[in-house]
């Protein structure tokens, strides 16, 4: 299977581990990832903050490129990219006025042929044809969790992982439609499929503090602390995240949390793709564990693949 | 019925015109004198006049005298909308010896003077309208109302407080009643309540005498564990097919010894206690159940057979248990149907953020009623479901699903403010050192002695009321944590609780839509029964012969439900007091010679009044069911369906007259 994959800028820089582990895991699942030619930043928060057409340009250009390369699906792993691409796509798909204005705005874009690199102008109207899927959604709906389960190479049955949804995966419900925002199951089902024990805890959809770590760091520290403490109290050995910003707030800034809350013992934070890659049998060295501020080696205790596979 | 002989009537008829001023309502814009004057010369008109208030006694008398004096065959009253005074003038015509279906009302108020300012053009329009009605009147037939017998026996569906009250009242009026209840016992939701606001009467104590009265009343036939399966017919003459569900216990033989219950191995959540305790598969819903008998719940029984289990049958000395009972059906004839099917609570699953499905100690109001009730699973001691501890902090959340247009239900469930105040008060009576906290949007206490009750809850019982909604409820260790907002202080609040009670919205009863479909009665957008008129006909359905009582019609408390049930019973009494019913004759018959039997009209008819006579290949009409809406007449491709006094010829004549010059 071949599918378009949009990594997003953070995965090429600060959180290479997310990109790396995704690629390794997908390779073992027999899925070839294709990056759209000349992809740019999705625009992070901007395309959704203002009711303007210009801000939509970044995400829609990416999606238009995917369409022109013959793709009908684009997969992302970063929660922010997912929310931005999917909501921008929905705006163009469902709002005729926005669609018209957007296409007029980007009429004179330069088009680069993927293979010949020849530059031309003139695009067909982009109507929102591409389907934006988060990797979790892709695994559930296109690959199927039972198929994923059938390809496991390691037994993780002793590993208790707390799924962390954060703010960007589930809401707004009407636009993202990934799962029920108040009672989501997809992350738990995913963890169960790869053989872990999914820990239920009340803070899985609460905010990690997001960009407040820049403007109001103490608020972000408190927000992340409450999430991590709740997961730890519920018996988790690690918290699994999908979003590089959540990772930053909860892993890179965990020393700040420990400084502020002396009772907090700390907990490793990992990407969901790292756990998946590990379960599928990827080598530990290829998980990008060096990027973690809180050592996560203990989470990945090796049980040889041979012992599990029949 | 043959069509009006055309042409003949037109030439011979003497038409009179009466133009009303309605004070200045009409005369202020329309030149009424001119209308009367001009119409005097119109072909077929024998007399024309105007008067300040046609609906007044002198106005009506003038119409009566003129009809007699001028020997008028038909009159046109140019006045307000026919919905207001058509009946008045029809009665006046009757007094003058004129057939009331020879009256035409030309609406020159709502559709003319009230919506126009230009006097000249409004007068012109009035003339056109009146001319149209003259053309129609020239072809009007004299009609007689259709008479139909009344079966003086009522069906009441639902054995909650509303159904019980309606049944008792109708029976006291002297008529027979059949009361159908789908559950093993009557009592409905009210029998589950602990104490009732604002007097704190024990709910069971005030309801059980009524239940017994219903059971003993000589004119009430109580059918519990029965369901209405199908209804046909029409007002005064319904045929009802009733399903008798197998109880597997003969109530006449059962002496309530309870031996069967002791030996039954099947343990099932108890519906009466909202699943907070357990019952056996053979059970009595509650001690005061009416009728007092055991019922074997086939769904949970090991197999209704001595091979599979058969323990209950073995111990029953009276031989009351019979595994071979089957569903049976029978038919009854009734003249009126009272629908009192009650309500249910909005599912806690719909509010995932409150964790009602996840945490044992997040419960709904009815569950808390059972916990407070002396006959409940805890014997009236307030204990929380998870570990049986006495909760020292209880949070009550109001408007769970109500008044939330965006996500849930837009309406107010009306009773929750009062029952939450009652819950807080009763909790404080039982646990004086406990803390009760209520989250509310507004507190609505309209009702006799309601606000005083609410004030007492705050002032005497020291209940903390926080104005704001709750965003999330979750468990941390032993405690529940409630996140909310205090909109008066403008702050987020976090309250620890041992027990949380959600005031879930009231919604239509589970599965009631199937029944209502069979009855073909109208509902509103939320599935509650629709009344015929929101102000003037609040207890009747739009469909003749159906009456509404209780929460099936919308959220209401006990006194209101009882009042509505009594009102519905009184309306049934009105119906039964008549020897025969009169049905409007302006229906749509079929001209056999023109009808090709295509059946298009059958599909158009919203009342099921038309059917195909396969032998003759034509459509036949049930005159009583036909409401004269005219949908079939418009759809009929051959002109065989002609509404009486509204034929195609009449309508074309009206249109031509109105558009002339």
Q: Do A202 and B472 touch (CB under 8 A)?
A: yes
CA-to-CA distance for A13 and A210, rounded, in angstroms? Answer: 18
Which residues in chain B have Cβ-Cβ distances shorter than 8 Å to A182? Answer: 351-353
- List the 438-477 stretch of B: residues with Cβ below 8 A of A: 472, 474-477
Mutate to test the interface with B, among A172, A174, A179, A182 (most CBs of B within 10 A): A182
Residue A175 shares a structural domain with residue A272: yes
Q: Do B352 and A233 touch (CB under 8 A)?
A: no
Beta strands in B288-389 (DSSP E): 295-296, 328-334, 336-339, 343-345, 362-364
Residue A234 shares a structural domain with residue A300: yes
Instruction: Report the residue of chain B nearest A202, measured CA to CA.
Output: B474
User: What is the dihedral angle through the alpha carbons of A6, A7, A10, A16, rounded to the nearest 10 degrees?
Assistant: 180
Which residues in chain B have Cβ-Cβ distances shorter than 8 Å to A230? Answer: 476
pTM to 2 decimal places: 0.81
Q: How confident is the model at residue B5 (pLDDT cuts 50, 70, 90)?
A: very low
pLDDT for B464: 97
Distance from CA of B351 to the nearest CA of A (A): 8
Q: Do A183 and B351 touch (CB under 8 A)?
A: no
Q: Per-residue pLDDT tens for B516-559?
A: 999 989 999 999 999 998 899 999 998 889 999 999 999 999 99
| Sign of the alpha-carbon torsion through A250, A251, A255, A261 | positive
Q: Per-residue pLDDT tens for B77-112?
A: 999 999 899 999 999 999 999 999 999 999 999 999
Distance from CA of B123 to the nearest CA of A (A): 47
Residue A104 shares a structural domain with residue A7: yes
As given in the structure block, the two tokens for residue B612 are 């195909």
CA-to-CA distance for A81 and B179, rounded, in angstroms? Answer: 62
Q: How confident is the model at residue B7 (pLDDT cuts 50, 70, 90)?
A: very low
| Domain-embedded: residue A28 | yes
Contacts 24+ apart (CB under 8 A), B278-286: B282/B248, B282/B249, B282/B312, B282/B321, B284/B184, B284/B256, B284/B258, B285/B183, B285/B184, B285/B185, B285/B187, B286/B185, B286/B187, B286/B191, B286/B375
Taking CA B598 as the corner, what is the angle to CA B593 and CA B599, rounded to the nearest 5 degrees? Answer: 110
CA-to-CA distance for A243 and A169, rounded, in angstroms? Answer: 9
Residues 6+ apart with CB under 8 A from B124: none
Q: Do B353 and A233 touch (CB under 8 A)?
A: no
The CATH number covering residue A26 comes to: 1.20.1050.140
> Among A180, A181, A202, whose Cβ lies nearest the Cβ of B475?
A202
From A133, A159, A176, give the residue that closes a domain: A133
Residue A156 shares a structural domain with residue A116: no
Nearest by Cα to B182 from B340, B299, B331, B302: B340
Is B314 within 8 Å of chain A by CB? no
pLDDT for A310: 41
| Domain-embedded: residue A138 | no
Matching residue, tokens 């987020």: B492
| Domain-embedded: residue A178 | yes
- At residue B15, φ and ψ (nearest 5 deg) are -105, 135
How many other C-beta atoms can be found within 10 angstroms of the C-beta atom of residue A255?
12
Strands B328-334 and B237-244: what pairing?
A: antiparallel
Total beta-carbon pairs less than 8 A apart between chain A and chain B? 17
Is A172 within 8 Å of chain B by CB? no
Is B478 within 8 Å of chain A by CB? no
Residue A57 shares a structural domain with residue A115: yes
Mean pLDDT for the stretch of residues B611-616: 93
Mean pLDDT for the stretch of residues A293-303: 87
Instruction: Report the residue of chain B nearest A184, measured CA to CA.
Output: B352
Residue A122 shares a structural domain with residue A147: no
Is B353 within 8 Å of chain A by CB? yes
As given in the structure block, the two tokens for residue B149 are 């017998």
Residue A66 shares a structural domain with residue A209: no
Mean pLDDT for the stretch of residues A249-271: 95
Mean pLDDT (chain B) is: 94
From A133, A156, A172, give the residue that closes a domain: A133
* CA B336 to mean position of chain CA atoms: 13
Residue A114 shares a structural domain with residue A165: no
Instruction: Report the residue of chain B nearest A226, measured CA to CA.
Output: B476
| Sign of the alpha-carbon torsion through A144, A146, A150, A156 | positive
Which of A35-49, B212-226, B574-588 has the least mean pLDDT? A35-49
Is A174 within 8 Å of chain B by CB? no
* Higher per-residue pLDDT: A255 or B607: A255
Is A182 within 8 Å of chain B by CB? yes
Q: Per-residue pLDDT tens for B335-361?
A: 999 999 999 999 999 998 999 999 999
Is A230 within 8 Å of chain B by CB? yes
Which residues in chain A have Cβ-Cβ distances shorter than 8 Å to B476? Answer: 202, 230, 233
Mutate to test the interface with A, among B353, B404, B476 (most CBs of A within 10 A): B476
How many other C-beta atoms can be found within 10 angstroms of the C-beta atom of residue A164?
28
Q: Per-residue pLDDT tens for B298-310?
A: 999 998 888 889 9
Q: How confident is the model at residue A52 (pLDDT cuts 50, 70, 90)?
A: confident
Q: Per-residue pLDDT tens for B231-254?
A: 988 889 999 999 999 999 999 999
Q: Do B357 and A183 touch (CB under 8 A)?
A: yes
Mutate to test the interface with A, among B474, B475, B479, B492 (most CBs of A within 10 A): B474
Nearest by Cα to A18 from A6, A30, A28, A29: A6
* CA B462 to mean position of chain CA atoms: 40
Which residues in chain A have Cβ-Cβ distances shorter than 8 Å to B357? Answer: 183
> Among B352, B475, B477, whose Cβ lies nearest the Cβ of A183?
B352
Residue A62 shares a structural domain with residue A153: no
SS (H, E, C) B497-519: ECEEEEEECEEECCCHHHHHHHH
> Among B352, B474, B481, whose Cβ lies nearest the Cβ of A180?
B352
Mean pLDDT for the stretch of residues B431-454: 96
- Helices B450-459, B416-430: crossing angle, 10 deg rounding: 40
Mutate to test the interface with B, among A183, A203, A204 (most CBs of B within 10 A): A183
Q: Per-residue pLDDT tens for A18-31?
A: 999 999 999 999 99
Q: How confident is the model at residue A303 (pLDDT cuts 50, 70, 90)?
A: low
Is A116 within 8 Å of chain B by CB? no
Nearest by Cα to B159 from B143, B175, B141, B183: B183
Q: How confident is the model at residue B198 (pLDDT cuts 50, 70, 90)?
A: very high
Distance from CA of B361 to the nearest CA of A (A): 15
Domains of chain B (ranges plus CATH)?
Answer: 8-143 (3.40.50), 153-245+328-342+509-576 (3.50.50.60), 259-315 (no CATH), 344-507 (3.50.50.60), 587-643 (3.30.70.20)
pLDDT for A56: 83
As given in the structure block, the two tokens for residue A151 are 């390809």
Which residues in chain A have Cβ-Cβ distances shorter than 8 Å to B475? Answer: 202
| Domain-embedded: residue A215 | yes
Which residues in chain A have Cβ-Cβ distances shorter than 8 Å to B351? Answer: 182
Q: Do B476 and A182 touch (CB under 8 A)?
A: no
Q: Per-residue pLDDT tens for B390-400?
A: 999 999 999 99
| Domain-embedded: residue A84 | yes
Mean pLDDT for the stretch of residues B471-484: 94
As given in the structure block, the two tokens for residue A231 are 């997961």
Q: Do B351 and A180 touch (CB under 8 A)?
A: no
pLDDT for A304: 55
pLDDT for A309: 44
- At residue B552, φ and ψ (nearest 5 deg) are -65, -20
> Among A182, A203, A230, whose Cβ lies nearest the Cβ of B352?
A182
From A133, A153, A178, give the residue that closes a domain: A133
Which residues in chain B have Cβ-Cβ distances shorter than 8 Å to A233? Answer: 476-477
Residue A231 shares a structural domain with residue A272: yes
Residue A119 shares a structural domain with residue A26: yes
Mean pLDDT for the stretch of residues B490-503: 97
Q: Do B475 and A182 touch (CB under 8 A)?
A: no
Which residues in chain B have Cβ-Cβ distances shorter than 8 Å to A202? Answer: 355, 472, 474-476, 481
pLDDT for A111: 73
Buried b (16+ CB within 10 A) or exposed e, B132-146: bbbbbbbbbbebeee
Mutate to test the interface with A, among B351, B352, B497, B502 (most CBs of A within 10 A): B352
Matching residue, tokens 């033989």: B253
How many other C-beta atoms can be found within 10 angstroms of the C-beta atom of residue A309?
12
As given in the structure block, the two tokens for residue B588 are 């749509």
Which residues in chain B have Cβ-Cβ distances shorter than 8 Å to A183? Answer: 352, 357
Is B637 within 8 Å of chain A by CB? no
CA-to-CA distance for B593 and B591, rounded, in angstroms? Answer: 5
| DSSP assignment letter at A11 | G
Is B352 within 8 Å of chain A by CB? yes
The CATH number covering residue A208 comes to: 3.40.50.11810
Distance from CA of B354 to the nearest CA of A (A): 9
Is pLDDT at B25 greater than 60 in this prediction? yes
Nearest by Cα to B96 from B151, B18, B167, B33: B18
Domain of residue A21, residue span: 2-133
When divided into structural domains, chain A yields a total of 2
Residue A149 shares a structural domain with residue A129: no
């Amino acid at each position: 299977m071949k599918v378009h994959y949009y990594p997003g800028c953070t995965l090429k820089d600060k959180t290479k581990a997310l990109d790396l582990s995704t690629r390794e895991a997908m390779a073992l699942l027999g899925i070839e990832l294709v990056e759209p030619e000349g992809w740019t930043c999705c625009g992070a928060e901007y395309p959704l903050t203002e009711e303007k057409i210009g801000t939509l340009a970044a995400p829609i250009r990416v999606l238009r490129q995917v369409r022109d390369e013959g793709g009908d699906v684009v997969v992302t792993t970063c929660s922010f990219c997912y929310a931005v691409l999917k909501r921008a796509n929905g705006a163009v798909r469902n709002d005729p006025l926005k669609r018209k204005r957007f296409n007029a705005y980007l009429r004179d874009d330069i088009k680069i042929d993927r293979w010949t690199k020849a530059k031309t102008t003139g695009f067909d109207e982009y109507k929102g044809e591409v389907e934006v899927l988060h990797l979790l959604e892709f695994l559930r709906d296109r690959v199927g969790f039972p198929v994923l389960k059938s390809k496991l190479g390691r037994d993780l049955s002793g590993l208790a992982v707390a799924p962390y949804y954060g703010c960007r995966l589930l809401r707004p419900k009407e636009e993202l439609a990934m799962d029920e925002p108040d009672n989501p199951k997809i992350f738990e089902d995913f963890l169960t499929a790869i053989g872990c024990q999914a820990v239920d805890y009340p803070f899985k959809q609460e905010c990690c503090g997001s960009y407040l770590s820049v403007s109001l760091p103490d608020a972000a520290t408190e927000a992340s602390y409450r999430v991590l403490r709740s997961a730890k109290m519920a018996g988790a050995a690690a918290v699994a995240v999908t979003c590089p910003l959540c990772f930053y707030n909860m892993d890179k800034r965990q020393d700040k949390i420990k400084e502020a809350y002396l009772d907090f013992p700390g907990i490793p934070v990992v990407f969901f793709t790292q756990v998946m890659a590990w379960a599928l049998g990827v080598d530990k060295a290829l998980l990008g564990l060096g990027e973690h501020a809180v050592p996560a080696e203990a989470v990945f205790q090796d049980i040889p693949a041979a012992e599990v596979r029949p | 019925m043959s069509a009006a002989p055309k042409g003949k009537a037109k030439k011979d008829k003497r038409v009179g015109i009466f133009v009303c001023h309605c004070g200045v309502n009409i005369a202020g814009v329309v030149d009424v004198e001119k209308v009367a004057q001009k119409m005097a010369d119109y072909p077929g008109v024998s007399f024309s006049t105007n008067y300040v208030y046609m609906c007044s006694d002198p106005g009506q008398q003038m119409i009566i005298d003129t009809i007699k004096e001028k020997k008028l065959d038909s009159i046109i009253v140019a006045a307000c909308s026919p919905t207001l005074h058509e009946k008045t003038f029809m009665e006046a015509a009757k007094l003058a010896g004129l057939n009331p279906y020879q009256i035409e009302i030309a609406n020159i108020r709502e559709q003319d003077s009230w919506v126009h300012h230009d006097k000249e053009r409004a007068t012109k329009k009035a003339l056109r309208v009146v001319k149209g009605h003259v053309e129609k009147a020239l072809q009007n037939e004299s009609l007689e109302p259709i008479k139909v017998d009344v079966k003086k026996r009522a069906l009441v569906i639902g054995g909650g407080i509303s159904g019980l009250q309606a049944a008792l009242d109708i029976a006291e009026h002297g008529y027979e009643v059949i009361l159908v209840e789908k559950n093993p016992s009557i009592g409905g939701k009210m029998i589950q309540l602990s104490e009732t606001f604002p007097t704190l009467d024990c709910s069971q104590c005030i309801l059980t005498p009524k239940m017994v009265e219903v059971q003993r009343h000589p004119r009430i036939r109580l059918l519990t564990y029965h369901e209405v399966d199908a209804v046909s017919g029409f007002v005064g003459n319904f045929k009802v097919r009733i399903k008798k569900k197998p109880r597997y216990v003969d109530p006449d033989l059962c002496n309530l010894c309870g031996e069967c219950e002791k030996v039954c191995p099947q343990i099932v959540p108890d519906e009466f206690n909202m699943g907070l305790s357990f019952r056996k598969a053979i059970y009595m819903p509650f001690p005061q159940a009416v009728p007092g008998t055991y019922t074997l719940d086939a769904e949970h029984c090991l197999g209704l057979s001595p091979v599979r289990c058969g323990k209950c049958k073995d111990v029953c000395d009276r031989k009351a248990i019979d595994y071979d009972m089957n569903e049976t059906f029978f038919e009854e004839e009734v003249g009126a149907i009272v629908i009192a099917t009650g309500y249910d609570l909005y599912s806690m699953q719909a509010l995932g953020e409150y964790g009602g499905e996840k945490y044992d100690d997040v419960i709904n109001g009815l569950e808390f009623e059972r916990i407070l009730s002396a006959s409940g699973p805890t014997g009236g001691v307030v204990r929380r479901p998870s570990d049986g501890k006495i909760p020292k902090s209880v949070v009550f959340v109001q408007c769970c699903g109500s008044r939330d247009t965006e996500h849930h239900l837009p309406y107010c469930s009306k009773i929750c403010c009062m029952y939450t105040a009652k819950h807080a008060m009763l909790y404080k009576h039982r646990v004086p050192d406990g803390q009760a906290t209520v989250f509310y949007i507004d507190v609505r206490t309209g009702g006799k002695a309601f606000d005083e009750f609410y004030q007492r809850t705050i002032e005497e019982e020291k209940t903390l009321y926080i104005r704001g909604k709750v965003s999330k409820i979750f468990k941390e260790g032993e405690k529940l944590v409630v996140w909310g907002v205090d909109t008066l202080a403008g702050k987020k609040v976090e309250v620890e609780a041992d027990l949380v009670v959600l005031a879930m919205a009231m919604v239509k009863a589970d599965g009631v839509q199937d029944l209502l479909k069979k009855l073909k009665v109208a509902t509103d957008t939320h599935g509650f029964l629709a009344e015929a008129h929101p102000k003037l006909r609040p207890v009747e359905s739009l469909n003749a012969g159906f009456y509404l009582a209780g929460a099936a019609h919308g959220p209401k408390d006990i006194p209101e439900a009882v009042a509505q049930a009594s009102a519905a019973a009184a309306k049934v009494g009105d119906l039964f007091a008549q020897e025969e019913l009169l049905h409007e004759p302006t229906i749509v018959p079929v001209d056999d010679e023109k009808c090709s039997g295509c059946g298009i009209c059958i599909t158009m008819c919203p009342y099921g009044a038309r059917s195909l006579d396969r032998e003759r290949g034509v459509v036949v009409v049930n005159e009583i069911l036909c409401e004269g809406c005219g949908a079939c007449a418009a759809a009929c491709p051959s002109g065989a369906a002609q509404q009486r006094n509204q034929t195609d010829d009449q309508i074309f004549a009206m249109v031509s007259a109105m558009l002339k010059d």
